[in-house]
Structure 1
């Protein structure tokens, strides 16, 4: 596990999602959202903040190779209420993104049919105004779409049948030969898009689960952060520098005197986390309030990385070419203004080092005013 938290000079080479497009997704219509290294989605309940994070996570899972029914177990909820069916009774939703990187700004746009059958009916990968790859549904009776990608050379386009329940872009490295300049361009754009999307960690810490002692396992943090104590047990042993930085963050965001952050091994083999109070005193984290527990968990997420968080890394690609994006729903939930500000300061610090990107949903982003590097996107209900 890496312990260095110095600035990363290679982070500008990492593919990053810089724009999310919700053409027709849940309550969103023709919405384009800019994303920076630290983006706060602000708005009242019902403004669609959670939907934005769900769209991002869904694209990331599709890029990682997950099939459509697993990514959208209840796809009807993604169809806007105002979206009527066509003459054949077909309804669905549309979303997309832009991924910046060495290849340039690559756009991915996706059309998903929900009724009468769940399938991807259209996909388009483009760069600099040129369509590099596209799919289209030719025969509704078959679970296939026709894919076409730019080739150059004697034949400008190559066509092949692709499954309609997977993101075609993620399959291109297995289909494109890479022999011509055109094919190499297609491969570079597809790989940049997949890398930029799939390293996402969606988290929403649940205090109830974090209060219980947990068994020691592989030490990878779950999305609900239920195994917080187990991960702290690992970071304390393997990442002394980051663990010390986490303890400093906890001192800034939790009440009372805090001299350290420890983990106690119990007789039954489980572990529990403790806040050291000095003079031999300690408070089990199970006694903390919901806000303090959420603050602790989110600080841990921001200070660790893909090796600790339960995300699907691309093992064959060096870390210097991969970015981690944290998707935090209810980032300020249960937090007071001081805690929320300390947390966003920590996020800005880690984003500035190239360590992590953050897209967080908040009710009111006023607490972040004056923090350098924060982009606030206001959503209207």
Structure 2
């Protein structure tokens, strides 16, 4: 695995948000660590504002996105079973069990922000029963939190976090099915300089991990009319018509940008993109051709539907997408990270070029980041701001 270009960090803080020491104001994940995860061993994937994971089938692109999504779930406070529904599939194929018949996997990430680079490493036992058996949070070479499984009979790990007061380290048990870093704000008093540093680093990591939107538009599910609901877009974009029903009236400027994007990626004239009632409680989406003709989206090709859905994702945000909404984090400090499986699937060269340029413009603003998996990224070489990470089956 070699990146074709280094990730370009967001050097400007969010408007109105001071960045201590020149650090960026929005925490964001800049590296995914797959020490021993599925087909990855000792892998570090640099992540820029717009990153393409490129490689053939079997090179680990899907595994990397699933690892990122799982870390995001743990960072949001989810239990281990929710983050890893099938933990056995995450164990490296040739991993050998120890004397107690235990096998597992290791992963982590680096989050940059006002506190500088903060690294999280997590060891998960998948067999015989799933549990988090080790966790380490570090910054500037200092271990801020470390956990270890001391007694396999107890459903807890022994945790030690930096205090730097009369007692250098505080020790306490933490549950073995949740990420300790996400629990620290409930356990650390913040009375000493060391404790405040622990809390700041943990908060940066958790904020960087939350607000992740895994996305894989499914054209076969997008053609039929859908029930009018919350207007929040699902990861499969099944409810595209319901979201258009809501967003068309909410922000005319963004909707106009979406129409421009759809016009560039769909065949024939496009004067508008709209939704209308279809039957009791149902809505459908249509293209306005500008001459009185309206084309039902069910008539569009798979590439056109995927293109339109991904353009909608890039031009909306957390208020429209079905993502975690941390009410305690100001919007100015949040960055939405979109994970796209098969970013180039079913798209023709023109569609993928238009979509990538749109993604580059949106990511440059700092409110959104995108990590997409593609089979080949040679077509992205001329787009500035793109980090390409090449993966191979080896």
Instruction: Say which of 72, 82, 85 aligns to 1:73.
Output: 85
Q: Summarize deviations over 1:274-316 as a string: whole Å, max 9, x none.
A: 1111110111111100000000000000111000000002111
> Alpha carbon RMSD of aligned pairs, Å?
1.1
Superposition pairs for residues 177-326 of structure 1, below 5 Å?
Answer: 177-326=189-338
Residues in 1 aligned to 2:377 and 2:339: alpha-carbon distance in whole angstroms: 16
Structure 1 CA distance, aligned partners of 2:92 and 2:82?
20
The answer on 1:167 being equivalent to 2:196 is no
Structure 1 286/8 Cα, relative in aligned 2: closer, same or farther at 3 Å?
farther
| Counterpart for residue 348 of structure 1 | 360
Q: Where do 4+ consecutive residues of structure 1 move more than 6 Å?
A: none
- What TM-score results when the alignment is normalised by the length of structure 1? 0.97
Q: Is the 8 A contact 1:57 1:202 kept in 2?
A: yes
For 1:248 and 1:334, locate their aligned partners in 2 and report how far apart those are by CA, in whole Å: 20
Measure the CA separation in 2 of the matches of 1:169 and 1:364.
36
Query: How many residue pairs end up in the alignment?
Result: 375
Cα displacement (A) at 1:214: 1.0
Q: In 1, distance between residues paired with 2:88 and 2:350?
A: 40
* Equivalence for 1:4: none
Gaps of 5+ in 1: 1-6
Q: Which residue of 2 aligns with 1:30?
A: 42
Equivalent in the alignment of 1:112: 124
**Contact 2:14–2:26, Cα closer than 8 Å, also in 1:** no
Gaps of 5+ in 2: 1-12, 18-23
For residues 22-60 of structure 1, what are the alpha-carbon distances to aligned partners after superposition, in whole Å with 9 as ceiling and x for unaligned?
000000000000000000000000000000000000000
Distance in 2 separating the partners of 1:222 and 1:338:
26
TM value normalised by structure 2? 0.94
- 1-side partners of 2:113 and 2:82: how far apart? 29
Q: Distance in 2 between matches of 1:263 and 1:118?
A: 45
SS in 1 for 2:382: coil
Q: Which residue of 2 aligns with 1:360?
A: 372
Of 107, 112, 123 in structure 1, the residue corresponding to residue 135 of structure 2 is 123
Return the alpha-carbon distance in structure 2 between the equivalents of residues 100 and 380 of structure 1: 27
Pairing partner for 1:52 from 35, 59, 64: 64
Contact 1:10 1:321 survives alignment (8 Å): no
- CA distance in structure 2 between the partners assigned to 1:375 and 1:267 by the alignment: 45
Provide the rounded CA distance (Å) in 1 between the counterparts of 2:377 and 2:75: 30
| Preserved CA contact (<8 Å) 1:96 1:108 | yes
Using the alignment, how far apart are the partners of 1:258 and 1:109 within structure 2?
A: 49
**Of 11, 15, 22, the match for 1:9:** 15
CA distance in 1, matches of 2:279, 2:170: 63
How far apart in 2 are the matches of 1:366 and 1:271?
39
State the 1:87 CA deviation.
2.1
